[in-house]
Protein backbone atom coordinates (compact mmCIF):
# COMPACT_ATOMS: atom_id res chain seq x y z
CA UNK A 1 0.00 0.00 0.00
CA UNK A 2 1.22 3.49 -0.76
CA UNK A 3 1.03 6.35 1.65
CA UNK A 4 -1.94 8.67 1.04
CA UNK A 5 -1.11 12.07 -0.36
CA UNK A 6 -1.01 14.81 2.29
CA UNK A 7 -4.13 16.97 2.46
CA UNK A 8 -3.60 20.43 1.10
CA UNK A 9 -4.55 23.36 3.36
CA UNK A 10 -7.57 25.27 2.11
CA UNK A 11 -6.93 28.28 -0.09
CA UNK A 12 -7.25 31.52 1.87
CA UNK A 13 -10.23 32.58 -0.24
CA UNK A 14 -12.06 29.27 0.21
CA UNK A 15 -14.60 29.46 3.04
CA UNK A 16 -14.50 26.66 5.61
CA UNK A 17 -17.88 24.94 5.98
CA UNK A 18 -18.87 24.96 9.61
CA UNK A 19 -21.45 23.55 12.02
CA UNK A 20 -23.01 26.43 13.98
CA UNK A 21 -25.33 26.14 16.98
CA UNK A 22 -27.45 29.18 17.92
CA UNK A 23 -28.67 29.36 21.51
CA UNK A 24 -31.38 31.95 22.15
CA UNK A 25 -33.94 32.57 24.89
CA UNK A 26 -36.61 33.38 22.33
CA UNK A 27 -38.82 31.61 19.81
CA UNK A 28 -37.51 30.77 16.36
CA UNK A 29 -38.08 31.86 13.62
CA UNK A 30 -39.94 34.71 15.35
CA UNK A 31 -36.66 36.35 16.40
CA UNK A 32 -35.74 38.25 13.23
CA UNK A 33 -32.06 38.74 14.10
CA UNK A 34 -31.43 35.03 14.68
CA UNK A 35 -33.51 34.14 11.61
CA UNK A 36 -31.34 36.34 9.39
CA UNK A 37 -28.11 34.88 10.81
CA UNK A 38 -29.43 31.39 10.10
CA UNK A 39 -30.50 32.25 6.57
CA UNK A 40 -27.17 33.76 5.58
CA UNK A 41 -25.20 30.86 7.14
CA UNK A 42 -27.32 28.27 5.30
CA UNK A 43 -26.90 30.21 2.05
CA UNK A 44 -23.11 30.06 2.58
CA UNK A 45 -23.30 26.26 2.92
CA UNK A 46 -22.90 25.93 6.69
CA UNK A 47 -24.86 23.51 8.87
CA UNK A 48 -27.01 25.22 11.49
CA UNK A 49 -28.66 24.07 14.73
CA UNK A 50 -30.97 26.32 16.76
CA UNK A 51 -31.76 25.79 20.44
CA UNK A 52 -34.65 28.07 21.40
CA UNK A 53 -37.95 28.43 23.27
CA UNK A 54 -40.98 26.43 22.15
CA UNK A 55 -44.17 28.30 21.33
CA UNK A 56 -47.60 26.76 21.88
CA UNK A 57 -47.99 25.75 18.23
CA UNK A 58 -44.32 24.87 17.60
CA UNK A 59 -42.93 21.38 17.18
CA UNK A 60 -40.23 20.29 19.62
CA UNK A 61 -37.91 19.31 16.78
CA UNK A 62 -37.78 20.22 13.11
CA UNK A 63 -35.32 19.59 10.33
CA UNK A 64 -35.13 21.42 7.04
CA UNK A 65 -32.08 20.41 5.01
CA UNK A 66 -28.98 21.63 6.89
CA UNK A 67 -31.11 23.30 9.57
CA UNK A 68 -32.16 21.55 12.79
CA UNK A 69 -34.36 23.28 15.39
CA UNK A 70 -34.48 22.05 19.00
CA UNK A 71 -37.20 23.76 21.05
CA UNK A 72 -37.34 23.86 24.84
CA UNK A 73 -40.76 24.27 26.51
CA UNK A 74 -41.05 27.55 28.39
CA UNK A 75 -42.37 31.09 28.23
CA UNK A 76 -40.96 34.58 28.34
CA UNK A 77 -43.31 36.32 30.77
CA UNK A 78 -41.47 39.64 31.32
CA UNK A 79 -42.22 39.55 35.06
CA UNK A 80 -40.18 40.68 38.07
CA UNK A 81 -36.39 40.46 38.26
CA UNK A 82 -36.61 37.29 40.37
CA UNK A 83 -39.03 35.60 37.96
CA UNK A 84 -36.82 36.55 35.00
CA UNK A 85 -33.77 34.99 36.67
CA UNK A 86 -35.74 31.78 37.34
CA UNK A 87 -36.84 31.66 33.68
CA UNK A 88 -33.25 32.22 32.55
CA UNK A 89 -31.91 29.53 34.91
CA UNK A 90 -34.50 26.99 33.76
CA UNK A 91 -33.63 27.60 30.11
CA UNK A 92 -29.90 27.62 30.91
CA UNK A 93 -30.00 24.12 32.38
CA UNK A 94 -32.08 22.58 29.59
CA UNK A 95 -30.16 24.36 26.83
CA UNK A 96 -26.86 23.15 28.35
CA UNK A 97 -28.09 19.57 28.17
CA UNK A 98 -29.36 20.06 24.61
CA UNK A 99 -26.22 21.79 23.31
CA UNK A 100 -23.95 19.21 24.93
CA UNK A 101 -25.96 16.41 23.36
CA UNK A 102 -25.76 18.06 19.92
CA UNK A 103 -22.00 18.50 20.33
CA UNK A 104 -21.42 14.86 21.26
CA UNK A 105 -23.73 13.37 18.62
CA UNK A 106 -23.69 15.75 15.66
CA UNK A 107 -20.71 18.00 16.29
CA UNK A 108 -20.55 21.77 16.74
CA UNK A 109 -17.73 24.02 15.56
CA UNK A 110 -19.17 27.34 16.78
CA UNK A 111 -21.71 28.06 19.50
CA UNK A 112 -23.43 31.37 18.72
CA UNK A 113 -25.07 32.55 21.96
CA UNK A 114 -27.57 35.41 21.99
CA UNK A 115 -28.27 37.61 25.01
CA UNK A 116 -30.24 38.22 27.17
CA UNK A 117 -29.14 36.70 29.51
CA UNK A 118 -25.37 37.08 29.08
CA UNK A 119 -24.67 34.02 31.27
CA UNK A 120 -26.50 31.82 28.76
CA UNK A 121 -23.02 31.46 27.28
CA UNK A 122 -22.18 29.02 30.11
CA UNK A 123 -24.63 26.51 28.63
CA UNK A 124 -21.87 25.93 26.05
CA UNK A 125 -19.14 25.10 28.56
CA UNK A 126 -18.83 21.43 27.59
CA UNK A 127 -18.59 22.15 23.83
CA UNK A 128 -15.97 24.80 24.65
CA UNK A 129 -13.92 22.29 26.68
CA UNK A 130 -13.86 19.82 23.79
CA UNK A 131 -12.94 22.23 21.04
CA UNK A 132 -15.88 24.42 20.00
CA UNK A 133 -15.50 28.18 19.70
CA UNK A 134 -18.02 30.57 21.28
CA UNK A 135 -19.46 33.67 19.67
CA UNK A 136 -21.30 35.87 22.20
CA UNK A 137 -23.88 38.15 20.58
CA UNK A 138 -25.14 41.05 22.70
CA UNK A 139 -28.68 41.98 21.62
CA UNK A 140 -28.98 44.19 24.71
CA UNK A 141 -26.84 45.30 27.67
CA UNK A 142 -28.05 43.62 30.86
CA UNK A 143 -27.01 46.36 33.37
CA UNK A 144 -28.80 49.07 31.36
CA UNK A 145 -31.78 46.78 30.80
CA UNK A 146 -32.26 46.27 34.54
CA UNK A 147 -31.60 49.95 35.33
CA UNK A 148 -34.60 50.88 33.21
CA UNK A 149 -36.91 48.55 35.11
CA UNK A 150 -35.34 49.29 38.50
CA UNK A 151 -33.70 52.76 38.49
CA UNK A 152 -32.31 52.13 41.95
CA UNK A 153 -30.18 49.33 40.44
CA UNK A 154 -28.17 51.71 38.23
CA UNK A 155 -25.41 52.22 40.83
CA UNK A 156 -26.11 49.54 43.46
CA UNK A 157 -24.86 46.00 44.13
CA UNK A 158 -27.10 44.56 41.41
CA UNK A 159 -25.43 46.76 38.79
CA UNK A 160 -22.00 45.58 39.95
CA UNK A 161 -23.13 41.94 39.85
CA UNK A 162 -24.57 42.28 36.34
CA UNK A 163 -21.33 43.83 35.08
CA UNK A 164 -19.32 41.01 36.63
CA UNK A 165 -21.40 38.35 34.87
CA UNK A 166 -21.04 40.38 31.66
CA UNK A 167 -17.23 40.24 32.01
CA UNK A 168 -17.25 36.52 32.84
CA UNK A 169 -19.50 35.78 29.88
CA UNK A 170 -17.21 37.70 27.54
CA UNK A 171 -14.19 35.93 29.05
CA UNK A 172 -15.63 32.50 28.17
CA UNK A 173 -16.28 33.56 24.58
CA UNK A 174 -13.81 33.79 21.70
CA UNK A 175 -15.44 36.72 19.89
CA UNK A 176 -18.11 39.27 20.81
CA UNK A 177 -20.80 40.86 18.62
CA UNK A 178 -22.33 44.20 19.62
CA UNK A 179 -25.69 45.32 18.27
CA UNK A 180 -24.46 48.79 17.30
CA UNK A 181 -21.47 51.13 17.68
CA UNK A 182 -22.54 52.96 20.89
CA UNK A 183 -23.07 49.57 22.56
CA UNK A 184 -19.65 48.42 21.33
CA UNK A 185 -18.03 51.47 22.94
CA UNK A 186 -19.64 50.62 26.29
CA UNK A 187 -18.64 46.96 26.05
CA UNK A 188 -15.03 47.83 25.24
CA UNK A 189 -14.87 49.98 28.36
CA UNK A 190 -16.34 47.22 30.55
CA UNK A 191 -14.62 44.07 29.29
CA UNK A 192 -11.29 45.88 28.82
CA UNK A 193 -11.01 44.73 25.21
CA UNK A 194 -10.29 41.20 26.44
CA UNK A 195 -12.10 39.86 23.38
CA UNK A 196 -12.42 41.15 19.81
CA UNK A 197 -15.70 43.02 19.31
CA UNK A 198 -17.46 43.38 15.96
CA UNK A 199 -20.58 45.44 15.33
CA UNK A 200 -23.30 43.49 13.50
CA UNK A 201 -26.55 45.46 13.36
CA UNK A 202 -29.96 44.04 12.68
CA UNK A 203 -31.54 45.35 9.51
CA UNK A 204 -33.98 44.79 6.71
CA UNK A 205 -33.36 41.63 4.71
CA UNK A 206 -34.87 42.46 1.33
CA UNK A 207 -35.10 38.75 0.44
CA UNK A 208 -37.80 38.42 3.15
CA UNK A 209 -39.87 41.40 2.02
CA UNK A 210 -43.00 41.10 -0.10
CA UNK A 211 -43.38 43.45 -3.04
CA UNK A 212 -45.12 46.48 -1.62
CA UNK A 213 -45.96 49.69 -3.47
CA UNK A 214 -46.44 52.83 -1.45
CA UNK A 215 -49.95 54.24 -1.77
CA UNK A 216 -51.77 57.24 -0.36
CA UNK A 217 -54.24 56.96 2.52
CA UNK A 218 -57.61 58.76 2.63
CA UNK A 219 -56.79 59.60 6.26
CA UNK A 220 -53.65 60.82 8.01
CA UNK A 221 -52.43 57.40 9.22
CA UNK A 222 -50.03 57.19 12.16
CA UNK A 223 -48.62 53.67 12.66
CA UNK A 224 -46.70 51.63 15.21
CA UNK A 225 -45.86 47.94 14.87
CA UNK A 226 -44.21 45.79 17.53
CA UNK A 227 -44.10 45.18 21.27
CA UNK A 228 -46.53 47.37 23.21
CA UNK A 229 -44.80 47.99 26.54
CA UNK A 230 -44.82 50.86 29.03
CA UNK A 231 -41.22 51.94 28.34
CA UNK A 232 -42.15 52.67 24.71
CA UNK A 233 -44.58 55.32 25.97
CA UNK A 234 -47.08 54.87 23.13
CA UNK A 235 -49.80 56.65 25.12
CA UNK A 236 -48.05 59.82 23.90
CA UNK A 237 -49.80 59.35 20.54
CA UNK A 238 -53.45 59.60 21.73
CA UNK A 239 -52.34 62.47 23.97
CA UNK A 240 -50.92 64.24 20.91
CA UNK A 241 -54.12 63.60 18.93
CA UNK A 242 -56.07 65.17 21.79
CA UNK A 243 -53.93 68.33 21.70
CA UNK A 244 -54.15 68.38 17.90
CA UNK A 245 -57.95 68.40 18.22
CA UNK A 246 -57.74 71.66 20.17
CA UNK A 247 -55.36 73.34 17.71
CA UNK A 248 -56.48 71.99 14.35
CA UNK A 249 -59.80 70.17 14.61
CA UNK A 250 -59.99 69.52 10.86
CA UNK A 251 -56.62 67.70 10.86
CA UNK A 252 -57.38 65.81 14.08
CA UNK A 253 -60.71 64.61 12.63
CA UNK A 254 -58.91 62.77 9.81
CA UNK A 255 -55.98 61.55 11.92
CA UNK A 256 -55.92 57.85 12.92
CA UNK A 257 -53.48 55.87 15.05
CA UNK A 258 -53.13 52.26 13.88
CA UNK A 259 -51.49 50.02 16.44
CA UNK A 260 -50.15 46.55 15.54
CA UNK A 261 -48.58 43.95 17.83
CA UNK A 262 -49.20 43.01 21.45
CA UNK A 263 -47.91 43.69 24.92
CA UNK A 264 -48.79 44.59 28.51
CA UNK A 265 -49.36 48.33 27.95
CA UNK A 266 -52.19 47.99 25.40
CA UNK A 267 -55.05 48.50 27.87
CA UNK A 268 -53.37 51.60 29.28
CA UNK A 269 -53.11 53.16 25.81
CA UNK A 270 -56.75 52.40 25.02
CA UNK A 271 -57.87 53.81 28.38
CA UNK A 272 -55.92 57.04 27.77
CA UNK A 273 -57.58 57.35 24.35
CA UNK A 274 -61.00 56.83 25.91
CA UNK A 275 -60.36 59.37 28.64
CA UNK A 276 -59.30 61.99 26.08
CA UNK A 277 -62.25 61.27 23.79
CA UNK A 278 -60.17 59.97 20.86
CA UNK A 279 -61.05 56.26 21.08
CA UNK A 280 -62.51 56.24 17.56
CA UNK A 281 -59.17 57.41 16.19
CA UNK A 282 -57.11 54.70 17.92
CA UNK A 283 -57.37 51.39 16.05
CA UNK A 284 -55.81 48.22 17.47
CA UNK A 285 -55.31 45.37 14.97
CA UNK A 286 -53.39 42.70 16.88
CA UNK A 287 -50.33 40.93 15.51
CA UNK A 288 -50.11 40.31 11.76
CA UNK A 289 -47.90 37.84 9.86
CA UNK A 290 -44.80 39.61 8.55
CA UNK A 291 -45.82 39.79 4.86
CA UNK A 292 -49.30 41.09 5.70
CA UNK A 293 -47.83 43.62 8.12
CA UNK A 294 -45.62 45.09 5.40
CA UNK A 295 -48.69 45.56 3.18
CA UNK A 296 -50.52 47.25 6.07
CA UNK A 297 -47.72 49.80 6.23
CA UNK A 298 -47.91 50.65 2.54
CA UNK A 299 -50.29 53.60 3.09
CA UNK A 300 -48.81 54.85 6.38
CA UNK A 301 -48.41 58.62 6.64
CA UNK A 302 -45.91 58.54 9.53
CA UNK A 303 -44.49 56.24 12.21
CA UNK A 304 -44.09 57.59 15.75
CA UNK A 305 -41.49 56.09 18.14
CA UNK A 306 -41.93 57.98 21.46
CA UNK A 307 -40.01 56.07 24.18
CA UNK A 308 -39.07 57.81 27.41
CA UNK A 309 -35.43 58.83 27.52
CA UNK A 310 -33.36 56.86 30.05
CA UNK A 311 -30.10 54.94 30.35
CA UNK A 312 -31.56 51.96 28.44
CA UNK A 313 -33.64 53.69 25.77
CA UNK A 314 -30.62 55.80 24.79
CA UNK A 315 -29.30 52.54 23.29
CA UNK A 316 -32.44 51.72 21.29
CA UNK A 317 -32.02 50.78 17.66
CA UNK A 318 -35.35 49.34 16.65
CA UNK A 319 -35.77 47.08 13.63
CA UNK A 320 -39.11 48.85 13.19
CA UNK A 321 -37.17 52.05 12.56
CA UNK A 322 -35.16 50.46 9.74
CA UNK A 323 -38.30 48.94 8.22
CA UNK A 324 -40.02 52.34 8.13
CA UNK A 325 -36.94 53.92 6.59
CA UNK A 326 -36.74 51.15 4.00
CA UNK A 327 -40.32 51.86 2.89
CA UNK A 328 -39.64 55.62 2.99
CA UNK A 329 -42.21 56.24 5.70
CA UNK A 330 -41.46 59.45 7.65
CA UNK A 331 -40.43 58.84 11.26
CA UNK A 332 -41.01 61.01 14.34
CA UNK A 333 -38.94 59.82 17.30
CA UNK A 334 -37.72 60.76 20.75
CA UNK A 335 -34.26 62.33 20.51
CA UNK A 336 -32.11 59.38 21.58
CA UNK A 337 -28.35 58.86 21.44
CA UNK A 338 -28.27 55.89 19.06
CA UNK A 339 -30.90 57.26 16.67
CA UNK A 340 -28.89 60.46 16.32
CA UNK A 341 -25.62 58.52 15.96
CA UNK A 342 -26.84 57.10 12.64
CA UNK A 343 -29.60 59.52 11.58
CA UNK A 344 -29.07 63.28 11.97
CA UNK A 345 -31.85 65.86 12.13
CA UNK A 346 -32.24 65.97 8.34
CA UNK A 347 -33.32 62.29 8.32
CA UNK A 348 -35.76 61.98 11.22
CA UNK A 349 -38.07 64.44 12.96
CA UNK A 350 -37.05 64.43 16.63
CA UNK A 351 -38.80 65.71 19.74
CA UNK A 352 -37.68 65.85 23.35
CA UNK A 353 -38.81 63.02 25.63
CA UNK A 354 -42.36 63.46 26.99
CA UNK A 355 -42.83 66.81 25.19
CA UNK A 356 -46.34 66.53 23.71
CA UNK A 357 -46.27 70.04 22.21
CA UNK A 358 -43.13 69.25 20.19
CA UNK A 359 -44.63 65.96 19.05
CA UNK A 360 -47.79 67.73 17.84
CA UNK A 361 -45.68 70.27 15.88
CA UNK A 362 -43.80 67.45 14.17
CA UNK A 363 -47.09 65.71 13.27
CA UNK A 364 -48.29 68.98 11.72
CA UNK A 365 -45.03 69.31 9.77
CA UNK A 366 -45.38 65.81 8.30
CA UNK A 367 -48.92 66.62 7.18
CA UNK A 368 -48.18 70.13 5.85
CA UNK A 369 -44.88 69.61 4.00
CA UNK A 370 -44.84 66.38 1.92
CA UNK A 371 -41.92 67.65 -0.18
CA UNK A 372 -39.73 68.02 2.91
CA UNK A 373 -40.76 64.53 4.02
CA UNK A 374 -39.75 63.09 0.64
CA UNK A 375 -36.29 64.63 0.98
CA UNK A 376 -35.91 63.46 4.57
CA UNK A 377 -36.97 59.88 3.84
CA UNK A 378 -34.51 59.75 0.92
CA UNK A 379 -31.66 60.90 3.19
CA UNK A 380 -32.69 58.41 5.87
CA UNK A 381 -32.74 55.62 3.28
CA UNK A 382 -29.21 56.52 2.15
CA UNK A 383 -27.97 56.58 5.76
CA UNK A 384 -29.53 53.17 6.44
CA UNK A 385 -27.97 51.70 3.30
CA UNK A 386 -24.48 52.41 4.70
CA UNK A 387 -25.19 50.09 7.63
CA UNK A 388 -27.60 47.74 5.83
CA UNK A 389 -28.01 44.02 6.26
CA UNK A 390 -25.94 43.04 3.17
CA UNK A 391 -22.93 44.73 4.80
CA UNK A 392 -23.64 43.03 8.13
CA UNK A 393 -23.92 39.62 6.45
CA UNK A 394 -20.35 39.95 5.18
CA UNK A 395 -19.13 40.93 8.65
CA UNK A 396 -20.86 37.94 10.20
CA UNK A 397 -19.54 35.45 7.65
CA UNK A 398 -16.02 36.82 8.16
CA UNK A 399 -16.35 36.17 11.90
CA UNK A 400 -17.54 32.61 11.24
CA UNK A 401 -14.63 32.03 8.88
CA UNK A 402 -12.06 33.38 11.32
CA UNK A 403 -13.41 31.27 14.21
CA UNK A 404 -13.50 28.18 11.99
CA UNK A 405 -9.81 28.49 11.28
- The three-state (H, E, C) secondary structure of 328-363, written as one string: CCCEEEECCHHHHHHCCCCCCEEECCCCHHHHHHHH
Sheet of 47-54, strands arranged across:
61-64, 67-73, 47-54, 19-27, 110-114, 133-138, 175-178, 197-199
pLDDT averaged over 10-residue windows placed end to end, the chain, 405 residues: 40 67 94 93 96 92 96 78 83 96 96 95 96 96 82 74 92 95 94 85 85 83 92 95 95 95 93 95 90 86 94 89 92 96 96 96 96 96 94 96 90
**Tally of CB atoms within 10 A around 129:** 10
Tens-place pLDDT, residues 330-349: 999 999 999 999 999 999 99
Tens-place pLDDT, residues 4-57: 443 344 444 555 679 999 999 999 998 889 999 999 999 999 999 999 999 888
Amino acid sequence: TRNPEPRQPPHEDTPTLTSICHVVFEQYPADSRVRRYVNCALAAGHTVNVVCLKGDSDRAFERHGNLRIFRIPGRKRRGSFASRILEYAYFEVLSALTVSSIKLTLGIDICHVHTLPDFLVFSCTLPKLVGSRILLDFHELFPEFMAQHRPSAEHGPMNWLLKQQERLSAWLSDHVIAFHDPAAEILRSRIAESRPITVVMNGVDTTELPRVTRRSSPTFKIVYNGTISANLNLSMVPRAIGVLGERRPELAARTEFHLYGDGPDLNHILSVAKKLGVSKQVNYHGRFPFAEMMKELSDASVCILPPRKDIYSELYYSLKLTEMIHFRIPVIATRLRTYQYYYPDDCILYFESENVDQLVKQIELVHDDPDLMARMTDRAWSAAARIGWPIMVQRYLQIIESLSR
